Amino acid sequence: MQKRKDEIIELMTADWAAQTFQELAKQVYQSPKDISILLELNEHPQHKIAWRSAYLLDLSHDLDKTILDEHLQLLMDRTPLLSSQSIKRHYLRILSQHDLSEVADGQLLDCCFEWLQTEETPIAVKAHCMQILYDLTVPYPELISELKAVLENLIPYGSKGEVNKAKKILAQLNKTKRA
Dihedrals phi, psi of 66, to nearest 5 degrees: -90, -10
pLDDT of 147 > 70? The answer is yes
Cα dihedral 39→40→41→45 (10° resolution): 130
Instruction: State how far the Cα of 60 lies from the Cα of 27, in Å rounded to an integer.
Output: 9
- Structure confidence by residue, pLDDT tens digits, 63-109: 999 999 999 999 999 999 999 999 999 999 999 999 998 888 889 99
Classified as helix, coil or strand, 145 is: helix
Q: For the purposes of burial, counting CB atoms within 10 Å of the CB of 118, is it exposed (0-12), middle (13-18) or buried (19 or more)?
A: exposed
Question: pLDDT tens across 7-34, in order?
Answer: 999 989 987 788 889 999 999 888 888 9
Q: What is the mean pLDDT of residues 166-174?
A: 95
pTM of the model: 0.93
111 and 147 Cβ atoms separated by less than 8 Å = no
Burial class (CB in 10 A: 0-12, 13-18, 19+), 148: middle
Cβ proximity of 142 and 110 under 8 Å = no
> Please, which residues have CB within 8 angstroms of residue 19's CB and are 6 or more apart in sequence?
none
**Cβ count within 10 A of residue 143:** 17
Residue 63: partners with Cβ closer than 8 Å, 6 or more residues away: 25, 26, 29
